[in-house]
Structure 1
Amino acid sequence: MTEFRSFVDRVVRPNAEDFDRAGEIPAWVLEEVSAAGYWGAVLDGDMVRFGALHEEIGRGCSSLRSLLTVHSMVSYAVDRWGTAAAREKWLPQLASGRVLGGFCLTEAEAGSDCAALVATAVPHEGGYRINARKKWTTGGQIAGLLLVFARTERGLSAFVVPGDAPGVKRTPIGDVLGTRASMMADIELVDCEVGADSLVGAEGMGLAVITGALDIGRYSVACGSVGITQACLEAVTAHCTERVQGGSVLAEHQLVQKMITEMAVNVRAARLLCVEAGESKDRGDPETIIATCVAKYFASTTAMRAAGDAVQLHGAVGCADGHPVSRYFRDAKVMEIIEGSTQIQELLIARDALRGR
């Protein structure tokens, strides 16, 4: 959408390399996102528009899009399953961006295996005492509200924990392959006490909360991957119409045209899959989960191929740290891993197909 593209071209793209180099999104950019009302986009009820926003932010900076992703996952979970008290307290702050959300699921040994999570939440003085060690929390360095998954007597459960609660410890993570400015951190909770109204859903509903939140996250990543592919296409067409090789511009070489063709076709196909997933969410279609998996699988693998071709066509300069296509390549690889790896999406898609749906 024109509004989102204008925002990205004004605020994000001119500064994205600086963000990547510094390893953080500066406060003034976060404030610009707040002023535009984008932190609360997932709460507006228009998922196709939400997807368009995340595509454009992904075109500009995958790190900023990653912050929007996890924030949206937390906002969605609080809105759908949070207690009345939690909703009243946190939703206005999340929607405005006064508080940013962090999604604390992954653990060192468990990885993507929710059944192997070992964090605990035991009853304590009318609430809970949580002990957990969470890895790779996007935005964990600045998140003011943590959605933490831990085991109770009734099974895996979800809790909202203020980022400044006693017992919350953060260890910043730097020097990662991609999304270097997403301000990741390891989060440790040591005897962290929260009230009963911090429980999201009922005890034992953790898997349902994870599934719902991850659906939002995967949709955002899919749309952001479309943005990466679009950015690669724009970079390649600009470069290939200017770079002379063998007496003619690169764009006149047939093998180069083939690479550009595949990029141009696949970005449109990926975008349509994302629109399909968004429309299914807007309709309340239960098939939206698999539609999101398909979109995330195709869009992320497309982004990786497009980024590889973009580096190839730029040659040595495309391999240099600080060049946009180098960043696209690093960020695209991350898209194939976060919110469920390519292999997890393949398993889910194949199982759905084998059920005859």
Structure 2
Amino acid sequence: MEKGKSLHELVWLCQKIGRKIDYVQGGGGNISVKLDSRYMAIKASGFRLDQVAEDDGYVIVDYEKIKSFYESVNLSLVKDYEKESLEVAQKSVLSFPGKVLRPSVEVGFHSILDRYVIHSHSVYANILACSYEGKQLCYQIFKDENFNFIWIPYINPGFSLTVKIADELMNLSAEDKKTKVIFMENHGLIVSSDNLKEVYEVHERVNLLIKRWFKIRGRYPSAVLKQIGNNKYQSRTRFILDFIKSESFEIDFFEKYPLYPDQLVYINSNLYTENPKIELNPQKGCVVYNANYSEALAIEETLLAYLYVITKISKLGLTMKTMSEDETEYIKNWESEKYRKELLKKMAK
């Protein structure tokens, strides 16, 4: 297929999914399109999906190199597989003059999946992915759907997640070319297909069916910020402010309930620190961000999504499933997420 057409498809998908903050927040989520039998375009780490254009916001990788690494990796050796996989991914990037970008940290599973891959942090999918009842409910909600449904118990993002998804794909028959729908516990949703129209429509349908099942009606709240100083923004999102003022909220709330990696990256690491970028005043119901607009918006969207998922899990009578201490520590020390945050700082608008 012509490279230009495939890049146009990538931009179209990124814009369609990236404009919905109930699907992706800040720089979270990623999308890829395979250009041919060797090369793949994927959102660059640190960029928002809605920032992807035909000349920016993505990298082209030799996905056959990455795929080959995962097919031949020897897990019996004692080595830093995460570091090795990142090096393989970086060496697979086609360089462009004046641009040094990293592929998404999830480039591994994008390489082994179908031609079109959508990975979102949909709040509706995460109602299921962050509750103990989620897996069983998925079997009920999607029982009549014509796609391969896979549930992945929580596993560290990056290398370990790709290996787990590869194992699950081995269980599918070679003749089975149906769209793949993968729920990742305490993480999000993947939809993968060899057909552009199908990957988009199945992602929409999965979210629609969850909303119908739980009778979720009405529009998802908008994230609203007001500038109150130089690199200082105040939340004007009613959903957030009402939650912060509620009796159930305490300042250590986010440490008590770690739901998924982006919460730890955007909220916890900016709140529980010596120089916090988030100022919370529960008495006044006030949230202020000491950050540039890009950072403040990413935090606001992530905070809104997190509180929305928590609220829905509670109101629907589900049992919240949180990340373990080891899992949260891994994310806090993950070099890839530190890179993503540093890049966000530089992308002030």
Give the TM-score normalised by structure 2: 0.28
Give the TM-score normalised by structure 1: 0.28
- Structure with greater proportional helix content: 1
Query: Based on CA coordinates, which of the two structures has the bigger radius of gyration?
Result: 1
